[in-house]
Structure 1
Amino acid sequence: MAKGRVSKDEWTMAALRALARGGVAAVAVDVLAKELGVTRGSFYWHFENREALLVAALETWERHGTAEVIAAVKEVDDPLARARTLFAEALGDEEIAGLEPALAAQVDHPAVAAVVARVTRARLAFLEEVYTGLDFGPAAARHRALAAYAAYLGWLDLRRTAPDLAPEAQLRDPGSAAALDHLVDMILAPGAPGAPGDPGTGTGAVRE
């Protein structure tokens, strides 16, 4: 039977690809069934309705793109190596190109808004933890977490919206490695000891 040939995970990944292509409106059961080579009946084997598929897809993105990445990076003991591992993972190959900018543009949908909020909260909290491990005080760690996350989102948006104007953002471009190294160096640049706005005890000096 057709319903036995396609797993729930295959449906959710197809839904995420559709989200990257055209937002929530692109998550159409008949279109995805055709893409997967199955009948509409296969969909109802796994999901009650389209909204259930959308939620499952978003939760898959949340798990793969945030929870699993954080868990893996936490295994790295050295604080500076942990930070570099995080940014290398975040700025490297995208499992589904353009998905994150596409989701950011769809936060008017309640299901998308809820998951994007959870993901943003978790990522910022972990970035603060990473910077705290680099001896930044609370305020500086928060500010750097915000700046680093903004740089991350902007980099992905450049890949999606300006591939010709900013080719270095594309991983296959000859200049991408140098551009990424420069971005990470900026994100991790040490701060001046006792810098204004940092009431914490950390000096903001990245350990070498």
Structure 2
Amino acid sequence: MEQERRRLTADDWAAAALTAIGAGGLAAVAIEPLAARLGTTKGSFYGHFSNREALVEAALSLWEKQFTEAYIATMATEPDPMARLRMLFTRIIGNAGQDALAVNVLASADHRLVAPVVSRVEQRRIDYSFALFEEIGFPPTVAAQRAMLGYTAYVGHSQLATRLPGVLPLKDADQLTRYIDSVLNLLLHDAPGPTAPV
């Protein structure tokens, strides 16, 4: 007798929808193709969600948790704010161009379901960076400017790496490390306190 398939959860559907957004944008979230990819039927979908919009909302919530809150949580044990800043930039810049998900989500930022999530995620990321720069010792006005500059550098880098692969001359780990060093040196210019910029 054929073994019974694992029952799919709402999280399974949300993860599949998130993969679809990464591959083809928001329009790629369609129930029947996702059901086929998951090896199930539309009935499984309706057991968890009332409609496509609810699935999109679940996928965006998953994106927020995995690519913002989880990133921040992984750095929580590092006591040095400069080291946390380096960890953050190494991770986000190192991953740029490998996954179009963030670029595709931002491309749909004017959609009524996407807009509040993107707004919340961007504010959370900027606030986190702001707190790092304040902890390093910058006054609030400067910390806010550095956080905004750092975030726009990340978004621009991610867009270029995904949309125009090969344009950025970061072909190996040494080039990536030197690039991250240069970004951090700019962001940490005139950093107060005894710890010098990288």
What TM-score comes out, normalization by structure 1 length?
0.83
Query: What is the CA–CA distance in structure 2 between the aligned matches of 1:20 and 1:91, rounded to whole Å?
Result: 17
User: How many positions carry a matched residue from both structures?
Assistant: 194
Q: How far 1:167 moved relative to its partner?
A: 5.8
Q: What residue number does 2:182 align with?
A: 186
Q: Structure 1: which 4+ aligned runs deviate by more than 6 Å?
A: none
Q: Distance in 1 between matches of 2:52 and 2:88?
A: 34
Residue pairs, 1:67-82, within 5 angstroms: 67-82=69-84
Q: 1:3-152 maps to which residues of 2 (within 5 A)?
A: 4-93=6-95, 97-152=99-154
SS in structure 2 at match of 1:124: helix
Tell me how far 1:81 sits from its aligned partner: 1.3
Moved more, 46-55 or 70-79: 70-79
Tell me the residue number matched to 2:166.
164
Question: What is the Cα-based RMSD across aligned positions, in Å?
Answer: 2.5
Structure-2 separation of matches of 1:26 and 1:149? 27
* TM-score normalized by the length of structure 2: 0.86
Between the aligned residues of both structures, percent identity stands at 37
User: SS where residue 46 of structure 1 aligns?
Assistant: coil
Residue ranges of structure 2 left out of the alignment (5+ in a row): none
Render the CA deviation track for 1:13-45: whole Å, top value 9, x for unaligned.
Answer: 111111122222110000111111111111111
SS of corresponding position for 2:113: helix
- Taking a change above 3 Å as real, the CA distance of residues 115 and 206 of structure 1, as seen in their structure-2 partners, is farther
Partner Cα distance (2:99, 2:194) in 1: 34
The one-character-per-residue Cα deviations of 1:146-204 (angstroms, maximum 9, x if unpaired) are: 11111111222122111133362xxxxxx2323322332233213237xxxxxxxx569
- CA 1:2/1:106 → structure 2, altered by over 3 Å: closer, same or farther? farther
- In the other structure, the counterpart of 1:171 is none
One-letter code aligned to 2:7? R
